[in-house]
Amino acid sequence: MPLDPSFVGRTYPPTAPYQVGREKIREFAGAIGATDPAHHDPDAARALGHSDVVAPPTFPVIVTMAASRQIIEDPDLGVDYSRLVHGDQRFAYTRPVVAGDELVCTNTIEDVSTRGGHGFLTTRTDVSTVGGEPVVAVWARYVIRGEA
């Protein structure tokens, strides 16, 4: 089933809050080899003007991947997850993510197209605090491989 282009512009309800933990940031930083002390040491982060350890730039993928299930699992859109390939990701920050943040995600479908028998889906996830402060916008492009 091809992707439904009428979904372009559709925005999904905000997700439940995600509490950003200091240890989660440290674990993520360690997993990707990010050695900057601001990712591990609260005093180093505070010396830079942050309230606690600062997440590496790709950390929001933890929150946005879970949030993207709203779109991927929407039966009316027509995504066959067994054929989905992650194609691209980019981030536009308003401010860094720090330990203690409570984040919510709001997903929007920005583009749906078909090329060469494959479906292309572009989403934007606006990540903000529970108080409504913008933190980062995350764009993802998915390719849904066509039938062979």
Q: In which band, very low, low, confident or very high, does the pLDDT at 104 lie, cut at 50, 70 and 90? A: very high
What are the structural domain ranges in the chain? 5-21+57-144
For residues 45-70, give the mean pLDDT: 96
Q: In which band, very low, low, confident or very high, does the pLDDT at 50 lie, cut at 50, 70 and 90? A: very high
Q: Is the model's pLDDT at 147 over the cut of 90?
A: no
Q: In which band, very low, low, confident or very high, does the pLDDT at 133 lie, cut at 50, 70 and 90? A: very high
Helix/strand/coil (H/E/C) assignment for every residue in the chain? CCCCHHHCCCECCCCCCEECCHHHHHHHHHHHCCCCHHHCCHHHHHHCCCCCCECCCCCCHHHHHHHCHHHHCCCCCCCCHHHEEEEEEEEEECCCCECCCEEEEEEEEEEEEEECCEEEEEEEEEEEECCCCEEEEEEEEEEECCCC
**The pLDDT of residue 130:** 98
**The pLDDT of residue 1:** 62
Fold designation for 5-21+57-144? Thiol Ester Dehydrase; Chain A (3.10.129)
Q: Is the model's pLDDT at 148 over the cut of 80?
A: no
